[in-house]
Structure 1
Amino acid sequence: MHRSLWSFSLSASLALSSCLPKGCPGVKGDLTIDSFQLYPENTDFDAKRCVAYFSVLYNATVAVYDPSKNAVVKTLAIPGLSGNPLLHSSGVQVDPRDRLSIVIDAGSSFDTGGQNISGDNFLVKYGLKDDRVLWRTNLTAVTDGVYSGYQDIEHDELGNTFVLGTFPSSIIRVSADGKQATPWYLATPPDHTVHGYSGIVNIGKSLIVSDNTDGQLYKFDIRAQKGTPVRIPLSSGDGAIGLNLDGAYLPPRYSDKVLLISDNVNGTYVLRSSDGKWNTAENLGVIPNSLLSEGGTTVASLQIGESIYTVTEFFGDARVPGTLAGNRTSFPLVDITSQVQSLLK
């Protein structure tokens, strides 16, 4: 990968900028979350409550993590869905209406690499004030089961939800009240054996997705009635970003100018748009997956305070009999803040 040089002043301004409220306590350094069978797949930080949400993959629940205590303080269960061995919990994000969006997906799609996409996928809206499920929408029914592998989420300013699917690429738009769910983008022909979109972020008027098919980034006009992907050219770092892409994340401290793309094997790719418009992008390099030798898979990124962490999943753990997941009790959050900063110089 090629690294582009910027002036010191611009690098410094990026480092000091922050969109997070100052009320949440910061943390630094590597962390270890002690929580039996956590197996986090995706995450989001709630700046209002100063907690992070982790989707608990195999139990199809959501863990509420308090960084100040370095502990899981609560588990959100979805009646009728959590605890179902056929279902996984993947995408999780706080929406503009202070609700939590949760994707509960058909695990077979990911377990078989798209060979078997049977089973239902759901978008669940959880009321954080009410502490209960408000509604859920069956995403599978929107395309009569032709598209599956739903795993990530974004929102527009009105609270509409855009749910990203992988087998093959699709984006389902769900209205803020959950009453309308429509195909916003569908890859054609619908070959579910193709591993497509994997991560999605919002930069205001546009959505950006990472595509496993060619290892590239694509941009959508979020205001359009239907989504049309436009490839974002890479001005440095020729070729595919990666071949095992997963979550996408815009660390708030960089004001939409830095994008982190998780690669299950290689680690975390760092990309930059000098103006935050993402008409072009620089691929600055990759922060290696430091837990690969231990069976760790890089799946997501998370900013807590001013620190940036990678989230690691362990797919290879043997299931504990009588449960839905492995016997792991400790899950690392690796601090990559200084490595991101180094690539931005």
Structure 2
Amino acid sequence: MYTLTFAFLALLSSGYTVPTGSCPPFQGTFNVSVLDLYPESADWDPVHCKIYFGLYYNASVVVYDPYRQTSELITIPGITGNSDYTVTGIDYDGMGSMYFAATSLTAFQATTSGNASLANFTGPNSIIRYDTNARKISWVSDLVPIHNEILQRTGKLVTGFQDMAEDNQGNSFVIGSFGSVIVKIDRKGTPRVWYEPKNINDTLASGGIISSGNKIIINDKLYPALVTFNTDDYYGAPVYVHPEGFPANYSGGTDALVAPSVYSGRVVLWSDDFYGTRVIGTRNNWETAEYLGLAPMDSSLQSRGGFTTDSFAVGNTIYSLTEFFQTTTPIKTTKEFTMVDMTEQVDQLVRAWLVKYA
């Protein structure tokens, strides 16, 4: 990760942006025309200039070229087309691999439908590593043995491993939304429990995780707070960082965390399912944090029942991703999915914060 000085913060506040690769500039709200895309997560490959979208209900991945408006489908053996699975997480590691989270669909039925009786934490969970250069799957890591091991040892069910972050050694850290357990998967695909709360609570608390230098950071809506961990530790030890100014008695949603490269790891975007994207900054490498404000969900998408589940950056342009969860099957067939350019909204919040400390 980059180290950001206060002088550089001043440059950012005056309009300077961090170079983000050789892809042509791209900006503006756009539609993706892919049948039944229903993406909960996406990430940008800055080498091949493609966006990877997870197809929630088909458990596959679309590689989308935003310049040509073309796409290709990645199918995952044993997972794609399997109604037990849904693809919930997409993450680029900066070293040529894209990671996909394939989660049990039933794990989230209670939260997406509002019907608590539908909660079922016994389904499958896999993490897939995909080589973006060779364009093939490197491995599929099955997390069910870890589910079972935790159940046998604690009597608690954990699931919903739906977001990932990678360190500089190629290890992937995966957060379980139900249970807040973090699994570390080495570069060969072998998983192990890296962090386990003393008292596992199956309430959906954490939906996102990012990497920042030798730290990983998750969100936790129960405190509410960001929680940091040192990736150099053999087992994770949590440090809770409550952002100054964060809304009191927070009752919003908790989904993906993203750290746009344009802000060099000093700003994270917390996807709030119900309201939009919450922007949080740090001046001291996440020892403390400050709440900068909310980039609201697009009103037309919100009125249609959309959820803000993720954000992603195409170069210096920051997009909000909106999901429309389907509570019954067969799902409503649709082809147009809108990606909202929220760059200016986020940038205004960041610039006001920078000016405050100039």
Would the TM-score normalized by the shorter structure come out above 0.5?
A: yes
Equivalent residue number for residue 48 of structure 2: 49
Matches of 2:336 and 2:91, distance apart in 1: 23
Q: How do 1:1-345 residues align onto structure 2 when only pairs under 5 Å count? A: 10=9, 12-13=11-12, 15-21=15-21, 23-69=22-68, 71-113=69-111, 115-144=119-148, 146-178=157-189, 180-192=190-202, 194-237=203-246, 239=248, 243-275=252-284, 277-290=285-298, 291-316=301-326, 319-320=329-330, 325-344=331-350, 345=352
Opposite residue 48 of structure 2, the aligned amino acid is: R
State the distance in 2 between where 1:9 and 1:132 align.
39
Report Cα offsets for 1:133-156 as digits up to 9, x if no partner: 222111121131631011000111
- Are 2:84 and 2:124, in contact at CA under 8 Å, matched by a contact in 1? no
1:259 partner amino acid: V
CA shift at 1:132, angstroms?
2.2
For 2:8 and 2:232, the matched residues in 1 are separated by 34
In the alignment, the residues of structure 2 paired with residue 10 and residue 124 of structure 1 have an alpha-carbon distance, to the nearest angstrom, of: 37
State the distance in 2 between where 1:140 and 1:188 align.
21
* TM-score in terms of structure 2 length: 0.87
* TM, length-normalised to structure 1: 0.90
What does residue 4 of structure 1 align with? Answer: none
User: Displacement, 1:341?
Assistant: 1.6
Give, in angstroms, the shift of residue 54 of structure 1: 0.9
Stretches of structure 2 lacking an aligned partner (at least 5 in a row): 1-5, 152-156, 353-358
Distance 1:16 1:340 in 2: 15
When the two structures are aligned, how many residues end up with a matched partner?
Answer: 330
Specify which structure has the higher proportion of strand. 1
CA displacement, residues 100-158 of structure 1 (integer Å, 9 cap, x when unaligned): 21111111111124831011100112222332222211112113163101100011111
Cα distance in 2 for partners of 1:174, 1:231 equals: 23
Within 1, Cα distance between the matches of 2:252 and 2:268? 17
Work out the CA distance in 1 between the residues paired with 2:349 and 2:251: 17
Decide whether the 8 Å contact of 1:166 with 1:197 is kept in 2. yes
| 8 Å Cα contact 1:319-1:327 kept in structure 2 | no
Q: Distance in 1 between matches of 2:267 and 2:132?
A: 29
Measured in 2, the distance between the counterparts of 1:305 and 1:59 equals 28
Q: Secondary structure at 1:58's aligned position in 2?
A: coil
The residue type equivalent to 1:200 in the other structure is: I
Percent identical pairs in the alignment equals 30
Deviates more, 1:132-141 or 1:11-20: 11-20
Instruction: Report SS of the residue matched to 1:236.
Output: coil
Tell me the alpha carbon deviations over residues 33-85 of structure 1, each in whole angstroms, 9 at most, x when there is no partner: 1111001111111111011111111100111111212x242111101110001
How much is the aligned-residue C-alpha RMSD, in angstroms?
A: 2.0
Counterpart of 2:347 in 1: which secondary structure? helix
Q: Do 1:249 and 1:261's aligned partners in 2 also have CA atoms closer than 8 Å?
A: yes
- Distance of 2:129 and 2:121 partners within structure 1: 23
d(CA) in 1 for partners of 2:339, 2:181: 30
Unaligned runs of 5+ in 1: 1-6
